[in-house]
Chains A and B, each alone.
Chain A
Amino acid sequence: MKKFLNSPDTILAESLDGFAAAHADLVVLGPGRQFVRRAGPVPGKVGLLSGGGSGHEPLHAGFVGRGMLDAACPGQVFTAPTPDQILAAAAAIDTGAGVLFIVKNYEGDVMNFDMAREMHAGRSETVLTDDDVAVETSTWSAGRRGVAGTLIVEKIVGAAAERGDDLAALTTLGRRVNAATRSMGVALTSCTVPAAGTPTFTLGDDEIEIGVGIHGEPGRRRERLRGADDLAAGMIGAILADLPAPPPEVLLLVNGFGATPLMELYLMFHAARRELAGAGVRVVRSLVGNYVTSLDMAGCSLTVTAMDEGLAALWDAPVHTPALRWGA
Protein backbone atom coordinates (compact mmCIF):
# COMPACT_ATOMS: atom_id res chain seq x y z
CA MET A 1 0.00 0.00 0.00
CA LYS A 2 1.36 3.38 -1.06
CA LYS A 3 -0.72 6.25 0.29
CA PHE A 4 -0.28 9.66 1.88
CA LEU A 5 -0.92 8.51 5.39
CA ASN A 6 0.16 8.98 8.98
CA SER A 7 -1.95 6.17 10.40
CA PRO A 8 -5.05 4.40 9.07
CA ASP A 9 -6.70 5.24 12.41
CA THR A 10 -6.46 8.99 11.84
CA ILE A 11 -6.95 9.26 8.08
CA LEU A 12 -10.61 10.30 8.31
CA ALA A 13 -10.13 12.87 11.08
CA GLU A 14 -7.12 14.46 9.39
CA SER A 15 -8.84 14.53 6.01
CA LEU A 16 -12.00 16.11 7.45
CA ASP A 17 -9.98 18.74 9.31
CA GLY A 18 -8.20 19.59 6.06
CA PHE A 19 -11.46 19.69 4.15
CA ALA A 20 -13.12 22.00 6.68
CA ALA A 21 -10.11 24.32 6.78
CA ALA A 22 -9.81 24.47 2.99
CA HIS A 23 -13.49 25.33 2.58
CA ALA A 24 -14.08 27.38 5.72
CA ASP A 25 -16.05 29.93 3.67
CA LEU A 26 -18.63 27.28 2.73
CA VAL A 27 -18.81 24.60 5.43
CA VAL A 28 -18.50 24.01 9.16
CA LEU A 29 -17.31 20.77 10.72
CA GLY A 30 -19.70 19.71 13.51
CA PRO A 31 -18.66 18.76 17.04
CA GLY A 32 -16.77 15.46 17.22
CA ARG A 33 -16.49 15.56 13.39
CA GLN A 34 -19.95 13.97 13.29
CA PHE A 35 -21.08 15.96 10.29
CA VAL A 36 -20.20 18.71 7.84
CA ARG A 37 -22.84 21.40 7.56
CA ARG A 38 -23.41 24.43 5.42
CA ALA A 39 -22.06 27.65 6.90
CA GLY A 40 -25.11 29.72 7.77
CA PRO A 41 -28.33 27.67 7.91
CA VAL A 42 -31.31 29.11 6.02
CA PRO A 43 -34.39 29.55 8.25
CA GLY A 44 -37.59 28.10 6.80
CA LYS A 45 -35.77 25.98 4.23
CA VAL A 46 -36.09 22.18 4.22
CA GLY A 47 -32.78 20.70 5.37
CA LEU A 48 -31.17 18.27 2.92
CA LEU A 49 -29.03 15.66 4.61
CA SER A 50 -27.00 12.88 3.08
CA GLY A 51 -24.11 10.77 4.18
CA GLY A 52 -22.40 7.48 3.75
CA GLY A 53 -19.09 5.79 4.03
CA SER A 54 -15.99 7.85 3.35
CA GLY A 55 -13.74 7.07 0.41
CA HIS A 56 -16.19 8.44 -2.19
CA GLU A 57 -14.97 12.04 -2.00
CA PRO A 58 -16.13 14.54 -3.00
CA LEU A 59 -19.47 12.76 -2.30
CA HIS A 60 -21.12 13.76 0.08
CA ALA A 61 -19.40 16.52 2.07
CA GLY A 62 -18.09 18.13 -1.13
CA PHE A 63 -21.68 18.84 -2.11
CA VAL A 64 -22.59 20.75 1.05
CA GLY A 65 -23.33 24.39 0.35
CA ARG A 66 -25.70 26.77 -1.38
CA GLY A 67 -28.01 25.01 -3.81
CA MET A 68 -27.20 21.48 -2.71
CA LEU A 69 -26.88 19.72 0.69
CA ASP A 70 -27.26 21.33 4.11
CA ALA A 71 -25.26 18.61 5.84
CA ALA A 72 -23.40 15.38 5.20
CA CYS A 73 -22.39 12.66 7.66
CA PRO A 74 -19.10 10.96 6.86
CA GLY A 75 -18.83 7.36 8.02
CA GLN A 76 -15.59 5.46 8.30
CA VAL A 77 -14.09 4.33 4.99
CA PHE A 78 -16.81 2.47 3.02
CA THR A 79 -18.85 2.24 6.22
CA ALA A 80 -22.21 3.90 6.76
CA PRO A 81 -22.31 6.66 9.39
CA THR A 82 -23.87 5.90 12.77
CA PRO A 83 -27.35 7.01 13.94
CA ASP A 84 -25.98 9.49 16.50
CA GLN A 85 -24.08 11.32 13.75
CA ILE A 86 -27.17 11.49 11.57
CA LEU A 87 -29.35 12.65 14.49
CA ALA A 88 -26.91 15.42 15.41
CA ALA A 89 -26.74 16.60 11.80
CA ALA A 90 -30.53 16.56 11.44
CA ALA A 91 -30.93 18.60 14.61
CA ALA A 92 -28.35 21.11 13.37
CA ILE A 93 -30.12 21.79 10.06
CA ASP A 94 -33.79 21.43 11.01
CA THR A 95 -35.14 24.97 11.04
CA GLY A 96 -38.76 23.82 11.26
CA ALA A 97 -39.48 22.95 7.64
CA GLY A 98 -38.33 19.35 8.10
CA VAL A 99 -35.38 17.28 6.94
CA LEU A 100 -35.04 15.24 3.77
CA PHE A 101 -32.62 12.32 3.99
CA ILE A 102 -31.02 11.32 0.69
CA VAL A 103 -29.74 7.78 1.18
CA LYS A 104 -27.92 5.46 -1.18
CA ASN A 105 -29.59 2.06 -1.22
CA TYR A 106 -27.01 0.06 0.66
CA GLU A 107 -28.24 -1.95 3.62
CA GLY A 108 -25.84 -0.28 6.07
CA ASP A 109 -26.86 3.22 5.03
CA VAL A 110 -30.54 2.35 5.05
CA MET A 111 -30.41 0.79 8.53
CA ASN A 112 -28.44 3.61 10.15
CA PHE A 113 -30.63 6.29 8.58
CA ASP A 114 -33.74 4.30 9.60
CA MET A 115 -32.56 4.18 13.22
CA ALA A 116 -31.81 7.90 13.15
CA ARG A 117 -35.21 8.73 11.64
CA GLU A 118 -36.92 6.67 14.35
CA MET A 119 -35.16 8.87 16.93
CA HIS A 120 -35.48 12.27 15.17
CA ALA A 121 -38.19 14.41 16.76
CA GLY A 122 -38.94 16.66 13.77
CA ARG A 123 -40.59 15.92 10.44
CA SER A 124 -38.50 13.96 7.97
CA GLU A 125 -38.70 12.01 4.74
CA THR A 126 -36.29 9.74 2.90
CA VAL A 127 -35.37 9.50 -0.77
CA LEU A 128 -33.52 6.29 -1.55
CA THR A 129 -31.27 6.30 -4.60
CA ASP A 130 -30.84 3.06 -6.53
CA ASP A 131 -29.58 3.95 -10.00
CA ASP A 132 -27.13 1.08 -10.54
CA VAL A 133 -28.36 -1.16 -13.36
CA ALA A 134 -25.51 -3.60 -12.77
CA VAL A 135 -27.44 -5.29 -9.97
CA GLU A 136 -29.42 -7.95 -11.78
CA THR A 137 -30.38 -9.73 -8.61
CA SER A 138 -32.64 -7.04 -7.21
CA THR A 139 -35.70 -9.27 -7.01
CA TRP A 140 -34.06 -11.42 -4.35
CA SER A 141 -31.39 -9.18 -2.86
CA ALA A 142 -31.66 -5.83 -1.07
CA GLY A 143 -32.05 -4.25 -4.47
CA ARG A 144 -30.07 -1.92 -6.63
CA ARG A 145 -27.30 0.23 -5.27
CA GLY A 146 -27.27 3.99 -5.17
CA VAL A 147 -24.17 5.17 -7.01
CA ALA A 148 -23.14 8.23 -9.05
CA GLY A 149 -26.75 9.16 -9.85
CA THR A 150 -27.02 10.24 -6.20
CA LEU A 151 -25.11 13.41 -7.08
CA ILE A 152 -27.73 14.31 -9.70
CA VAL A 153 -30.54 13.80 -7.18
CA GLU A 154 -28.69 15.94 -4.63
CA LYS A 155 -28.08 18.75 -7.16
CA ILE A 156 -31.62 18.91 -8.54
CA VAL A 157 -33.40 18.53 -5.20
CA GLY A 158 -30.92 21.00 -3.67
CA ALA A 159 -31.90 23.62 -6.23
CA ALA A 160 -35.59 23.04 -5.54
CA ALA A 161 -35.03 23.33 -1.78
CA GLU A 162 -33.16 26.59 -2.32
CA ARG A 163 -36.14 28.10 -4.16
CA GLY A 164 -38.38 27.13 -1.22
CA ASP A 165 -40.12 23.87 -2.19
CA ASP A 166 -41.65 22.06 0.81
CA LEU A 167 -40.74 18.65 2.20
CA ALA A 168 -43.46 16.74 0.34
CA ALA A 169 -42.61 18.34 -3.02
CA LEU A 170 -38.89 17.68 -2.55
CA THR A 171 -39.53 14.06 -1.65
CA THR A 172 -41.61 13.56 -4.79
CA LEU A 173 -39.01 15.36 -6.92
CA GLY A 174 -36.14 13.30 -5.48
CA ARG A 175 -37.92 10.05 -6.22
CA ARG A 176 -38.77 11.23 -9.73
CA VAL A 177 -35.15 12.14 -10.51
CA ASN A 178 -33.95 8.83 -9.12
CA ALA A 179 -36.49 6.96 -11.23
CA ALA A 180 -35.24 8.82 -14.33
CA THR A 181 -31.59 7.93 -13.61
CA ARG A 182 -29.49 4.88 -14.50
CA SER A 183 -25.79 4.13 -13.97
CA MET A 184 -23.32 1.45 -14.94
CA GLY A 185 -19.68 1.15 -13.83
CA VAL A 186 -16.54 -0.64 -14.97
CA ALA A 187 -13.42 -1.08 -12.83
CA LEU A 188 -9.94 -1.38 -14.32
CA THR A 189 -8.33 -1.99 -10.91
CA SER A 190 -9.37 -2.75 -7.36
CA CYS A 191 -8.95 -0.28 -4.49
CA THR A 192 -7.21 -0.45 -1.14
CA VAL A 193 -9.03 0.37 2.11
CA PRO A 194 -6.34 2.06 4.24
CA ALA A 195 -7.09 0.03 7.36
CA ALA A 196 -6.99 -3.24 5.40
CA GLY A 197 -3.76 -2.38 3.59
CA THR A 198 -4.28 -4.73 0.65
CA PRO A 199 -6.54 -4.46 -2.43
CA THR A 200 -10.12 -5.57 -1.84
CA PHE A 201 -10.01 -7.81 -4.90
CA THR A 202 -7.45 -8.53 -7.56
CA LEU A 203 -7.75 -8.08 -11.29
CA GLY A 204 -5.27 -9.38 -13.83
CA ASP A 205 -3.48 -6.89 -16.10
CA ASP A 206 -5.92 -7.67 -18.90
CA GLU A 207 -9.05 -8.06 -16.77
CA ILE A 208 -11.87 -5.63 -15.93
CA GLU A 209 -14.82 -5.89 -13.58
CA ILE A 210 -18.12 -5.10 -15.30
CA GLY A 211 -20.84 -3.57 -13.13
CA VAL A 212 -18.63 -2.72 -10.17
CA GLY A 213 -20.08 -0.93 -7.15
CA ILE A 214 -18.45 2.03 -5.44
CA HIS A 215 -16.93 0.12 -2.52
CA GLY A 216 -14.63 -2.17 -4.41
CA GLU A 217 -17.28 -4.84 -4.22
CA PRO A 218 -17.18 -6.94 -7.37
CA GLY A 219 -19.81 -6.49 -10.02
CA ARG A 220 -21.67 -8.51 -12.64
CA ARG A 221 -18.76 -10.40 -14.09
CA ARG A 222 -15.13 -10.28 -15.03
CA GLU A 223 -14.12 -9.78 -18.65
CA ARG A 224 -11.09 -9.12 -20.82
CA LEU A 225 -10.07 -5.49 -21.26
CA ARG A 226 -11.12 -4.18 -24.67
CA GLY A 227 -11.42 -0.91 -26.56
CA ALA A 228 -13.12 2.09 -24.97
CA ASP A 229 -15.78 2.39 -27.70
CA ASP A 230 -16.75 -1.21 -27.13
CA LEU A 231 -16.91 -0.73 -23.35
CA ALA A 232 -18.96 2.45 -23.63
CA ALA A 233 -21.35 0.69 -26.01
CA GLY A 234 -21.84 -2.11 -23.51
CA MET A 235 -22.45 0.29 -20.63
CA ILE A 236 -24.87 2.54 -22.55
CA GLY A 237 -26.57 -0.57 -23.90
CA ALA A 238 -27.17 -1.85 -20.36
CA ILE A 239 -28.51 1.56 -19.30
CA LEU A 240 -30.86 1.98 -22.27
CA ALA A 241 -32.06 -1.61 -22.00
CA ASP A 242 -33.18 -0.83 -18.47
CA LEU A 243 -35.22 2.25 -19.40
CA PRO A 244 -38.80 1.82 -20.65
CA ALA A 245 -37.85 3.72 -23.84
CA PRO A 246 -34.82 5.72 -24.95
CA PRO A 247 -35.40 9.25 -23.58
CA PRO A 248 -35.10 12.04 -26.19
CA GLU A 249 -32.93 14.28 -23.99
CA VAL A 250 -30.57 13.32 -21.18
CA LEU A 251 -27.92 14.49 -18.77
CA LEU A 252 -24.77 12.39 -19.20
CA LEU A 253 -22.39 12.07 -16.26
CA VAL A 254 -19.03 10.36 -16.75
CA ASN A 255 -17.79 9.74 -13.25
CA GLY A 256 -14.25 8.64 -12.48
CA PHE A 257 -13.60 6.23 -9.61
CA GLY A 258 -10.53 8.11 -8.39
CA ALA A 259 -7.48 6.90 -10.29
CA THR A 260 -8.50 7.39 -13.90
CA PRO A 261 -7.16 10.53 -15.61
CA LEU A 262 -9.60 13.12 -16.95
CA MET A 263 -8.15 12.51 -20.41
CA GLU A 264 -9.66 9.02 -20.35
CA LEU A 265 -12.93 10.23 -18.82
CA TYR A 266 -13.41 12.72 -21.66
CA LEU A 267 -12.61 9.96 -24.13
CA MET A 268 -15.35 7.89 -22.51
CA PHE A 269 -17.73 10.87 -22.67
CA HIS A 270 -17.07 11.14 -26.38
CA ALA A 271 -17.72 7.44 -26.90
CA ALA A 272 -20.84 7.37 -24.70
CA ARG A 273 -22.30 10.48 -26.34
CA ARG A 274 -21.86 8.98 -29.79
CA GLU A 275 -23.43 5.73 -28.62
CA LEU A 276 -26.43 7.62 -27.24
CA ALA A 277 -26.76 9.62 -30.45
CA GLY A 278 -26.93 6.35 -32.36
CA ALA A 279 -29.93 5.40 -30.25
CA GLY A 280 -31.61 8.76 -30.92
CA VAL A 281 -30.76 10.18 -27.49
CA ARG A 282 -29.48 13.75 -27.30
CA VAL A 283 -27.14 14.83 -24.49
CA VAL A 284 -28.39 18.23 -23.32
CA ARG A 285 -26.43 18.53 -20.06
CA SER A 286 -23.12 16.98 -19.11
CA LEU A 287 -20.69 16.53 -16.27
CA VAL A 288 -17.28 14.83 -16.38
CA GLY A 289 -14.97 14.27 -13.44
CA ASN A 290 -14.23 12.36 -10.25
CA TYR A 291 -17.35 12.94 -8.15
CA VAL A 292 -18.39 9.60 -6.65
CA THR A 293 -15.13 7.79 -6.20
CA SER A 294 -13.98 4.49 -4.82
CA LEU A 295 -10.68 5.46 -3.15
CA ASP A 296 -7.86 4.68 -5.59
CA MET A 297 -9.85 2.54 -8.00
CA ALA A 298 -9.30 3.06 -11.72
CA GLY A 299 -12.43 2.96 -13.81
CA CYS A 300 -15.56 4.96 -14.40
CA SER A 301 -19.30 4.89 -14.40
CA LEU A 302 -21.72 6.34 -16.91
CA THR A 303 -24.94 7.87 -15.62
CA VAL A 304 -27.89 8.94 -17.73
CA THR A 305 -30.82 11.00 -16.42
CA ALA A 306 -33.85 11.61 -18.61
CA MET A 307 -34.31 15.38 -18.64
CA ASP A 308 -37.16 17.76 -19.20
CA GLU A 309 -37.28 21.55 -19.10
CA GLY A 310 -38.03 21.69 -15.37
CA LEU A 311 -35.18 19.37 -14.42
CA ALA A 312 -32.77 21.19 -16.73
CA ALA A 313 -33.63 24.51 -15.07
CA LEU A 314 -32.97 23.03 -11.64
CA TRP A 315 -29.70 21.49 -12.86
CA ASP A 316 -28.64 24.92 -14.22
CA ALA A 317 -29.60 26.77 -11.01
CA PRO A 318 -26.70 28.31 -9.06
CA VAL A 319 -24.69 25.98 -6.87
CA HIS A 320 -21.75 26.83 -4.66
CA THR A 321 -20.15 23.88 -2.87
CA PRO A 322 -16.55 22.70 -2.50
CA ALA A 323 -16.89 20.28 -5.43
CA LEU A 324 -19.58 21.74 -7.68
CA ARG A 325 -19.88 25.41 -8.50
CA TRP A 326 -21.63 27.29 -11.26
CA GLY A 327 -23.86 30.34 -11.61
CA ALA A 328 -22.80 31.53 -8.16
Chain B
Amino acid sequence: MPTGEAPQRRLIRAVAETIIAHAEELTRLDQAIGDGDHGVNMQRGCAAVLADLDRIGALPWPQALHAAGTVLVMTVGGASGPLFGTLFMQLGKSLPPAPTRADMAGALAGAVAAVKARGKSDVGAKTMLDVLDPVLAALRDGDDDWRTRLPAVAGAAAAATAPMQARRGRAAFLGARSIGHVDPGARSVALMVEAVCTA
Protein backbone atom coordinates (compact mmCIF):
# COMPACT_ATOMS: atom_id res chain seq x y z
CA MET B 1 0.00 0.00 0.00
CA PRO B 2 1.20 3.53 -0.64
CA THR B 3 2.93 5.06 2.34
CA GLY B 4 1.21 8.09 3.71
CA GLU B 5 -2.23 6.72 2.82
CA ALA B 6 -4.77 8.95 4.56
CA PRO B 7 -6.10 7.25 7.71
CA GLN B 8 -9.74 7.51 6.64
CA ARG B 9 -8.88 5.95 3.31
CA ARG B 10 -6.90 3.18 5.05
CA LEU B 11 -9.70 2.36 7.51
CA ILE B 12 -12.49 2.38 4.94
CA ARG B 13 -10.40 0.22 2.64
CA ALA B 14 -9.62 -2.22 5.48
CA VAL B 15 -13.29 -2.55 6.40
CA ALA B 16 -14.34 -3.16 2.80
CA GLU B 17 -11.54 -5.64 2.12
CA THR B 18 -12.26 -7.57 5.31
CA ILE B 19 -15.95 -7.96 4.48
CA ILE B 20 -15.11 -9.09 0.94
CA ALA B 21 -12.61 -11.62 2.30
CA HIS B 22 -15.29 -13.05 4.61
CA ALA B 23 -18.21 -12.93 2.15
CA GLU B 24 -18.52 -16.71 1.92
CA GLU B 25 -18.58 -17.11 5.69
CA LEU B 26 -21.30 -14.42 5.94
CA THR B 27 -23.33 -16.15 3.24
CA ARG B 28 -23.09 -19.46 5.09
CA LEU B 29 -24.29 -17.82 8.30
CA ASP B 30 -27.20 -16.24 6.43
CA GLN B 31 -28.14 -19.51 4.75
CA ALA B 32 -28.56 -21.04 8.19
CA ILE B 33 -31.13 -18.54 9.45
CA GLY B 34 -31.86 -16.04 6.67
CA ASP B 35 -32.07 -16.14 2.93
CA GLY B 36 -28.42 -16.63 2.11
CA ASP B 37 -27.58 -13.31 0.52
CA HIS B 38 -25.90 -11.28 3.24
CA GLY B 39 -22.34 -12.04 2.13
CA VAL B 40 -23.08 -11.46 -1.54
CA ASN B 41 -24.84 -8.16 -0.87
CA MET B 42 -22.20 -6.81 1.52
CA GLN B 43 -19.51 -7.88 -0.94
CA ARG B 44 -21.20 -5.97 -3.75
CA GLY B 45 -21.50 -2.85 -1.57
CA CYS B 46 -17.91 -3.03 -0.34
CA ALA B 47 -16.63 -3.58 -3.87
CA ALA B 48 -18.51 -0.42 -4.90
CA VAL B 49 -16.86 1.46 -2.02
CA LEU B 50 -13.42 0.23 -3.13
CA ALA B 51 -14.16 1.18 -6.73
CA ASP B 52 -14.89 4.71 -5.51
CA LEU B 53 -12.07 4.81 -2.94
CA ASP B 54 -10.00 7.48 -4.68
CA ARG B 55 -12.87 9.93 -4.27
CA ILE B 56 -14.13 8.73 -0.87
CA GLY B 57 -10.70 8.38 0.72
CA ALA B 58 -9.64 11.88 -0.31
CA LEU B 59 -12.51 13.46 1.64
CA PRO B 60 -12.13 14.61 5.26
CA TRP B 61 -13.19 12.04 7.93
CA PRO B 62 -16.86 12.99 8.29
CA GLN B 63 -17.55 13.33 4.58
CA ALA B 64 -15.61 10.17 3.77
CA LEU B 65 -17.73 8.08 6.16
CA HIS B 66 -20.93 9.68 4.90
CA ALA B 67 -19.92 9.00 1.30
CA ALA B 68 -19.10 5.36 2.09
CA GLY B 69 -22.48 4.98 3.80
CA THR B 70 -24.28 6.48 0.82
CA VAL B 71 -22.54 4.05 -1.54
CA LEU B 72 -23.62 1.15 0.72
CA VAL B 73 -27.26 2.34 0.77
CA MET B 74 -27.32 2.60 -3.01
CA THR B 75 -25.62 -0.73 -3.76
CA VAL B 76 -26.27 -3.27 -0.99
CA GLY B 77 -30.07 -3.33 -1.02
CA GLY B 78 -32.12 -5.54 1.26
CA ALA B 79 -32.18 -4.66 4.94
CA SER B 80 -28.40 -4.50 5.21
CA GLY B 81 -28.13 -1.56 2.80
CA PRO B 82 -30.23 0.90 4.82
CA LEU B 83 -28.87 -0.38 8.15
CA PHE B 84 -25.13 -0.40 7.40
CA GLY B 85 -25.52 2.69 5.22
CA THR B 86 -27.29 4.54 8.02
CA LEU B 87 -24.52 3.49 10.44
CA PHE B 88 -21.77 5.05 8.30
CA MET B 89 -23.78 8.06 7.14
CA GLN B 90 -24.68 8.97 10.72
CA LEU B 91 -21.09 8.43 11.90
CA GLY B 92 -20.05 10.89 9.22
CA LYS B 93 -22.68 13.42 10.25
CA SER B 94 -21.56 13.68 13.86
CA LEU B 95 -17.79 13.10 13.72
CA PRO B 96 -15.48 16.14 13.90
CA PRO B 97 -12.51 16.26 11.49
CA ALA B 98 -9.89 15.20 14.08
CA PRO B 99 -11.84 13.00 16.49
CA THR B 100 -10.81 12.07 20.03
CA ARG B 101 -12.00 8.84 21.65
CA ALA B 102 -14.84 10.78 23.28
CA ASP B 103 -15.79 12.23 19.89
CA MET B 104 -15.82 8.75 18.39
CA ALA B 105 -17.95 7.39 21.22
CA GLY B 106 -20.37 10.29 20.82
CA ALA B 107 -20.59 9.76 17.07
CA LEU B 108 -21.03 6.01 17.45
CA ALA B 109 -23.78 6.56 20.02
CA GLY B 110 -25.64 8.71 17.50
CA ALA B 111 -25.07 6.16 14.75
CA VAL B 112 -26.31 3.27 16.90
CA ALA B 113 -29.43 5.26 17.76
CA ALA B 114 -30.00 5.92 14.05
CA VAL B 115 -29.68 2.21 13.23
CA LYS B 116 -32.19 1.40 15.98
CA ALA B 117 -34.63 3.93 14.57
CA ARG B 118 -34.20 2.78 10.95
CA GLY B 119 -34.67 -0.88 11.86
CA LYS B 120 -37.29 -0.22 14.56
CA SER B 121 -35.26 -2.54 16.74
CA ASP B 122 -33.09 -2.66 19.84
CA VAL B 123 -30.54 -4.90 21.55
CA GLY B 124 -31.59 -8.46 22.31
CA ALA B 125 -33.24 -9.12 18.95
CA LYS B 126 -30.23 -11.03 17.53
CA THR B 127 -29.03 -8.33 15.15
CA MET B 128 -26.04 -6.09 14.43
CA LEU B 129 -27.15 -3.98 17.41
CA ASP B 130 -26.06 -6.76 19.76
CA VAL B 131 -22.47 -6.06 18.71
CA LEU B 132 -22.74 -2.31 18.20
CA ASP B 133 -24.09 -1.68 21.69
CA PRO B 134 -21.33 -3.42 23.69
CA VAL B 135 -18.68 -1.96 21.37
CA LEU B 136 -20.08 1.51 22.05
CA ALA B 137 -20.02 0.88 25.81
CA ALA B 138 -16.43 -0.38 25.67
CA LEU B 139 -15.33 2.60 23.59
CA ARG B 140 -17.07 5.13 25.81
CA ASP B 141 -16.18 3.71 29.20
CA GLY B 142 -12.73 2.18 28.71
CA ASP B 143 -9.28 3.69 28.39
CA ASP B 144 -7.68 5.06 25.22
CA ASP B 145 -6.26 1.68 24.28
CA TRP B 146 -9.47 0.86 22.41
CA ARG B 147 -7.71 -0.67 19.42
CA THR B 148 -6.52 -3.51 21.64
CA ARG B 149 -9.76 -4.00 23.53
CA LEU B 150 -12.54 -3.66 21.01
CA PRO B 151 -11.90 -6.64 18.69
CA ALA B 152 -12.37 -9.10 21.56
CA VAL B 153 -15.48 -7.27 22.78
CA ALA B 154 -16.98 -7.33 19.29
CA GLY B 155 -16.02 -10.94 18.62
CA ALA B 156 -17.51 -12.13 21.90
CA ALA B 157 -20.66 -10.12 21.33
CA ALA B 158 -21.14 -11.61 17.87
CA ALA B 159 -20.62 -15.14 19.23
CA ALA B 160 -23.12 -14.35 21.99
CA THR B 161 -25.88 -13.90 19.39
CA ALA B 162 -25.84 -17.68 18.78
CA PRO B 163 -28.00 -18.67 21.77
CA MET B 164 -30.40 -15.78 21.18
CA GLN B 165 -33.77 -16.14 19.47
CA ALA B 166 -34.15 -13.73 16.57
CA ARG B 167 -36.82 -11.05 16.83
CA ARG B 168 -35.86 -9.03 13.78
CA GLY B 169 -34.79 -9.86 10.25
CA ARG B 170 -35.75 -12.91 8.27
CA ALA B 171 -34.38 -15.12 11.04
CA ALA B 172 -37.29 -14.03 13.24
CA PHE B 173 -39.61 -16.15 11.08
CA LEU B 174 -37.73 -19.20 12.32
CA GLY B 175 -38.69 -18.62 15.93
CA ALA B 176 -36.82 -21.01 18.21
CA ARG B 177 -35.07 -22.55 15.21
CA SER B 178 -32.92 -19.41 14.95
CA ILE B 179 -31.23 -20.41 18.21
CA GLY B 180 -27.76 -21.89 17.82
CA HIS B 181 -26.58 -19.76 14.90
CA VAL B 182 -24.52 -16.56 14.92
CA ASP B 183 -26.35 -13.62 13.37
CA PRO B 184 -24.67 -12.67 10.07
CA GLY B 185 -25.20 -8.93 10.59
CA ALA B 186 -23.64 -9.15 14.04
CA ARG B 187 -20.70 -11.02 12.56
CA SER B 188 -20.28 -8.32 9.89
CA VAL B 189 -20.06 -5.63 12.56
CA ALA B 190 -17.47 -7.66 14.50
CA LEU B 191 -15.40 -8.03 11.33
CA MET B 192 -15.62 -4.28 10.71
CA VAL B 193 -14.57 -3.45 14.26
CA GLU B 194 -11.61 -5.80 14.00
CA ALA B 195 -10.62 -4.24 10.67
CA VAL B 196 -10.79 -0.71 12.08
CA CYS B 197 -8.73 -1.65 15.14
CA THR B 198 -6.00 -3.53 13.28
CA ALA B 199 -5.73 -1.45 10.10
To the question of whether A and B form a pair in one complex, the answer is: yes
Asked whether any CB of chain A lies closer than 8 Å to the CB of B134, the reply is no
Asked whether any CB of chain A lies closer than 8 Å to the CB of B152, the reply is no
A112 adjacent to B83 (CB under 8 Å): no
B31 adjacent to A80 (CB under 8 Å): no
User: Which B residue's beta carbon lies closest to that of A219?
Assistant: B173
CA distance A213 to B172 in the complex (A): 12
- Residues of A within 8 Å of B120, CB to CB, are 142
CA distance A135 to B83 in the complex (A): 23
> Which of B31, B73, B77, B83 contacts A79, CB < 8 Å?
B77
What is the interface residue range for chain B against chain A? Answer: 20 to 34
A195 adjacent to B40 (CB under 8 Å): yes
Number of A-B contacts (CB under 8 A): 110
- Residues of B within 8 Å of A140, CB to CB, are 167
* A interface secondary structure, majority: loop
A129-140, CB under 8 A of B: which get 1 and which 0?
Answer: 000001111001
> Which of A78, A79, A108, A218 contacts B173, CB < 8 Å?
A218
B37 adjacent to A80 (CB under 8 Å): no
> Which of A83, A196, A213, A219 contacts B73, CB < 8 Å?
A83
What is the interface residue range for chain A against chain B? Answer: 35 or more
A213 adjacent to B79 (CB under 8 Å): no
Taking Cβ atoms with an 8 Å cutoff, the residues of B that contact A are 27, 31, 34-37, 40-41, 44, 73-83, 118-120, 166-170, 172-175, 177
User: Which B residue's beta carbon lies closest to that of A212?
Assistant: B173
Given contacts A76-B44, A107-B168, A215-B170, whether A53 and B78 have CB atoms under 8 Å apart is: yes
User: Which A residue's beta carbon lies closest to that of B72?
Assistant: A82
> Which of A141, A198, A219 contacts B168, CB < 8 Å?
A141
CA distance A326 to B166 in the complex (A): 43
> Which of A108, A142, A193, A213 contacts B78, CB < 8 Å?
A108
Asked whether any CB of chain B lies closer than 8 Å to the CB of A149, the reply is no
